[in-house]
Amino acid sequence: MDLSFTPEERAFREEMRRFFRTEIPAEIREKAGKGEHVSKADLITTQQAMNKAGLATPHWPRAWGGRDWTPVQTYIWLDEMQTNSVPAPLAFNTSMVGPVIAEFGSEAQKQRFLPATANLDIWWCQGFSEPGAGSDLAGLRTSAVRDGDEWVVNGQKTWTTLAQHADWIFCLCRTDPNAAKKQQGISFILIDMKTPGITVRPIQTLDGGHEVNEVWFDEVRVPYENLVGEENKGWDYAKFLLGNERTGIARVGVSKARLLRLRELAKLERIGDKPLIEDRHFREKLTALEIELRALEMTQLRVVAGERDRPRGVPNPMSSILKLKGSEIQQATTELLMELVGPYAMPYHAGAEPEGDNDPQSIGPEYAAEAAPTYFNWRKISIYGGSNEIQRNILAKAILGF
Amino acid sequence: MDFDLNDDQRLLKDSVERLITDKYGFDQRRANMAAPGGWSRTMWAQFAELGLLGLPFAEEHGGFGGGPVEAMIVAEAFGRGLVLEPYLATVILGGGLIRRAGDAATQASLLPQIASGELLLAFAHVEPQSRYELHNVATIARQDGARWRLEGDKGVVLHGDCANKILVTARTAGSTRDRTGIGLFLVDVPGEGVSVRGYPTQDGLRAAEVSLAGATGIPLGDPANALPAIERVVDEALAFLAAEAVGVMAAMHASTVDYMKQRKQFGRAIGDFQALQHRAVDMLVLLEQARSMALLATMMVAEDDPVERHKVAAAAKVQIGRSGRKLGQEAVQLHGGIGVTMEYMVGHYFKRMSMIEILFGDADTHLAQLAEGSGVLEAA
Ligand SMILES: Cc1cc2nc3c(=O)[nH]c(=O)nc-3n(C[C@H](O)[C@H](O)[C@H](O)COP(=O)(O)OP(=O)(O)OC[C@H]3O[C@@H](n4cnc5c(N)ncnc54)[C@H](O)[C@@H]3O)c2cc1C
């Protein structure tokens, strides 16, 4: 057992750090670090810079821009990205649809989509969830019926993140309503968002932002060739997709950056006659959270190291611990920021809406503006991507054998 | 001991609850929020008609002589409705300060105007450096002939943007954190040297930043020693907020249990999962503990001994803060995705609860202070 990083790994970390700190505009990292809204243009700039350096899709197959890194390298890459507050490449592109197309898509689909997906020339959104199919995703009802060389799609997706920016959507559609098991009649279909019959309706989140949408399909005609892989095998591809990139899920680096920032901000806030950082109780809470995070980081490294010996695309059930604890810690950092800010967490900054160009009016200290919106918004982290309850169910079955 | 309401109290409860049910549904509330100023003058007139605006005041002042229990009844119903109107600011804080600090003439002139709905008030005490300390006051009041002039900045003044008069804490002597030398001043708005910048708060209510640059203030009570009256009124506000929080929590809990019975996943109601049933039961325990502390605070708020009174008010704030946070987070979580949207009521309850947590000191702040003392149990 050797728990330290090798000299090569340390050098690799240096290289990553240098890249992220020099090649990604400081202004974007600063915004992201403060929890301010990062615009579509910022995300594109960031991902294109990373892609140019071969750093947007290191986990893809080599032929399509992958790097054949060890799991530890991938971990270091992600950790440096997160701790330096670099917005991650769009997950829908690089973690979800890209790997699925690379693994199961036709040659024509690979040529057409993969380079553009890596470079964020195409913005993808994920059309899985429906009003009646959340945790029970296999209960989805949006249908695709074959008509000659086309699919005719009808139904409704919901919670579709950033569909308002998207050029394409990858959808799970029911193609065999009579299959013996509901998981068996589902196909994975790529749909151009400009196709007639698609309507996008915004859903406002609690912080006032617009990041999720309903997407309606009314007699939407899609070329048959936009099917990925085989008909009625979509559930397998979805499982592959969800099993990919499980280690990033804990977002340890994000929490690390937030906790470091909390410590700095606590020097600026005053409680009674002293800075908040000198308040024993606050410091203990902050420190306790740091301990939890160190532990999670080690757990994450254990999962990463174990990945070498696991078949690809089969998630390690331990990654459910990463999701569960990782979301609890992220949410706890937002609570601590609320407590740090105090009364000035109350003003609602009308200008803070995503894509809004108007400056938030400055009321109270600058860092106070994001406290409540982030606290409210980040309740989502324990709901999406398999809720914490679903993660517990997985752990109960897969690890405890109940 | 008797936890039952008397006939008048039951009548009050029925009529306020009916008003909230009939007039304060989700869409109606949204419409009220969109009205100029962010709340409904029509609702305010109805509160006046029902006698709610003069509830705590003596009959001679146009009131109904209601006590803490009556205030609790109103607060709980307002919590269920997520009422936007400036009741806390005007009636509980503003009216309370006039009752506790004002002389007979001031009371006789202002309280009836509150009861009738004409006069709106706000209480300006937070300052950029004060956090939750009421006695942390840097705003200065200087005597200038027969007048007092105020200099300083006040922040997050609840409903400060609609008030006709703002009650401002200002220092007449001593240094920023001294407990003595604090006065309470009535400032007319609009007025020379007063600037008010209103904005919505995270829960859809309103607040304002108030700058005073030589504004004229009329002292309310002793300009050198208003803190005891202020602390008393803030304890009353804490009892009110505790009851409002109970209304918010009860509504969140009911909504969650309802939703669990309706929402189907995996071919059954999610409420069939025992793991989730236990979560809902834990929420019930949080709610009932909070309700009990809110009741205790209501019982004790008329207590004249400031130490005993404050101890219980602060303890209630700790309990509702902790219960409310956990219960709110669980309510959102158990609703799944719709819990984090503006389109469903539960998220709005969660946001109001989060703001109540902050108002007049969060749980940690009150806990730290209580822990400095000799505990909260009664001596055997
Ligand atoms: C901000 C946000 C962004 C999202 N982005 C996308 C996106 O881009 N694309 C997409 O397809 N989807 C997206 N989702 C959807 C997300 O994956 C679902 O919200 C999630 O699967 C939960 O489904 P639900 O909201 O219907 O809740 P439900 O499944 O109805 O769950 C309600 C509650 O019941 C619990 N529960 C359900 N089943 C069980 C069980 N068997 N045992 C114990 N507890 C259970 C849940 O944990 C939850 O607490 C997003 C969601 C959010 C909130």
Average pLDDT, consecutive stretches of 10 residues, N- to C-terminus, chain B (380 residues): 90 97 96 95 97 97 96 98 98 98 97 98 97 98 94 98 98 97 98 96 97 97 97 98 98 98 98 98 98 97 93 98 98 98 97 98 97 86
CB contact under 8 A, A129 and B126: no
pLDDT of A245? 63
A–B interface: beta-carbon pairs under 8 A: 127
Q: Is A359 exposed, middle or buried (0-12, 13-18, 19+ CB in 10 A)?
A: exposed
CA dihedral B154, B156, B162, B166 (to 10 degrees): -40
* pLDDT interval class at A48 (50, 70, 90): very high
Nearest to A377 by CA among A199, A92, A83, A161: A161
Residue A240 resides in a domain: no
CB contact under 8 A, B337 and A281: no
Q: Identify any residues that bridge with B186 across adjacent strands, giving them in sequence order.
A: B167, B218
pLDDT of A178? 96
pLDDT of A36? 87
**B266 Cα to the center of ligand 1, angstroms:** 12
Using one digit for the tens of pLDDT, what is the confidence trace for A284-320?
A: 999 999 999 999 999 998 988 887 787 766 778 899 9
Nearest to B256 by CA among B287, B288, B283: B283
Query: What percentage of residues in chain A have a pLDDT greater than 90?
Result: 86
pLDDT of B273? 98
Residue A12 resides in a domain: yes
* pLDDT interval class at A349 (50, 70, 90): confident
pLDDT at A3 over 90: no
Residue A102 resides in a domain: no
pLDDT of A352? 44
pLDDT of B374? 87
pLDDT of A313? 65
CB contact under 8 A, A387 and B332: no
- Ligand 1 pocket, B275 CB below 6 A? yes
**A387 Cα to the center of ligand 1, angstroms:** 6
pLDDT of A242? 84
Nearest to B179 by CA among B134, B143, B237: B134
Residues A203 and A227 placed together within one structural domain of the fold: yes
- Ligand 1 pocket, B263 CB below 6 A? yes
pLDDT at A353 over 60: no
Q: Where among A232, A262, A295 does a domain terminate?
A: A232
Nearest to A321 by CA among A287, A286, A292: A292
**A382 Cα to the center of ligand 1, angstroms:** 9
Residues A160 and A220 placed together within one structural domain of the fold: yes
Atom of ligand 1 nearest to the CA of A92: 8
Query: What percentage of residues in chain A have a pLDDT greater than 70?
Result: 96
Find chain A residues with C-beta within 8 A of B341's C-beta. Answer: 203-206, 212
CATH 1.20.140.10 fits B228-379, yes or no: yes
pLDDT at A103 over 90: yes
Average pLDDT of the residues in A57-72: 94
Query: What is the count of structural domains for chain A?
Result: 3
Parallel, antiparallel or unpaired: strands A150-157 and A143-147: antiparallel
Nearest to A342 among B132, B207, B329 (CB): B132
* pLDDT interval class at A359 (50, 70, 90): very low
CB contact under 8 A, A392 and B129: no
Provide the shortest C-alpha distance from residue B148 to chain A (in Å).
27
Write the CATH number for A319.
1.20.140.10
R_g of chain B computed on alpha carbons: 21
This complex has an ipTM of 0.97
For residue A380, give both structure tokens.
């989502």
pLDDT of A237? 96
pLDDT of A305? 83
Residue A82 resides in a domain: yes
| Touching A: B residues 198-237, CB under 8 Å | 199-202, 204, 207, 209
Atom of ligand 1 nearest to the CA of B340: 53
B171 compared with A36, residue with greater pLDDT: B171
Using one digit for the tens of pLDDT, what is the confidence trace for A134-153?
A: 999 999 999 999 999 999 99
pLDDT of A247? 67
The amino acid present at A194, given as its one-letter code, is K
Domain carrying residue A390:
248-398
Nearest CA in chain A to B325: A335
Write the CATH number for A221.
2.40.110.10
pLDDT of B294? 98
Provide the shortest C-alpha distance from residue B158 to chain A (in Å).
10
Residues A198 and A294 placed together within one structural domain of the fold: no
Which of B153, B202, B342 is best to mutate for the A interface (most A CBs within 10 A)? B202
Find chain B residues with C-beta within 8 A of A338's C-beta. Answer: 354, 358
Output the CATH code of domain B7-118: 1.10.540.10
B271 touches chain A (CB under 8 A): no
Residue A202 resides in a domain: yes
CB contact under 8 A, B177 and A345: no
pLDDT of A356? 38
Provide the shortest C-alpha distance from residue A304 to chain B (in Å).
29
Residues A221 and A253 placed together within one structural domain of the fold: no
Residues A144 and A175 placed together within one structural domain of the fold: yes
Do the domains B122-224 and B228-379 sit in the same CATH topology, yes or no?
Answer: no
**Which run of H or of E encompasses B49?**
helix B41-49
Residue A371 resides in a domain: yes
Mean residue pLDDT across chain B: 97
The domain spans of chain B are 7-118, 122-224, 228-379
Nearest to A273 among B177, B207, B332 (CB): B177
Provide the shortest C-alpha distance from residue B266 to chain A (in Å).
6
pTM of the model: 0.97
Residues A260 and A144 placed together within one structural domain of the fold: no
**B115 Cα to the center of ligand 1, angstroms:** 48
CB contact under 8 A, B333 and A269: no
Residue A242 resides in a domain: no
Residue A176 resides in a domain: yes
pLDDT at A225 over 80: yes
Residues A135 and A216 placed together within one structural domain of the fold: yes
Provide the shortest C-alpha distance from residue A368 to chain B (in Å).
12
Nearest to B364 among A159, A339, A364 (CB): A339
A157: helix, strand or coil: strand
Residues A226 and A264 placed together within one structural domain of the fold: no
Q: Identify any residues that bridge with A71 across adjacent strands, giving them in sequence order.
A: none
Residues A274 and A351 placed together within one structural domain of the fold: yes
Residues A168 and A276 placed together within one structural domain of the fold: no
Using one digit for the tens of pLDDT, what is the confidence trace for A149-179?
A: 999 999 999 999 999 999 999 999 999 999 9
Which of A171, A376, A387, A393 should be mutated for ligand 1, with most atoms under 8 A from CB? Answer: A387
pLDDT of A361? 58
Using one digit for the tens of pLDDT, what is the confidence trace for B282-318?
A: 999 999 999 999 999 999 999 989 999 999 999 999 9
Find chain A residues with C-beta within 8 A of B241's C-beta. Answer: none
Q: B122-224: which CATH topology?
A: Butyryl-CoA Dehydrogenase, subunit A; domain 2 (2.40.110)
Angle between helices A388-398 and A319-341 (to 10 degrees): 150
Q: What are phi and psi of A286, to 5 degrees?
A: -60, -45
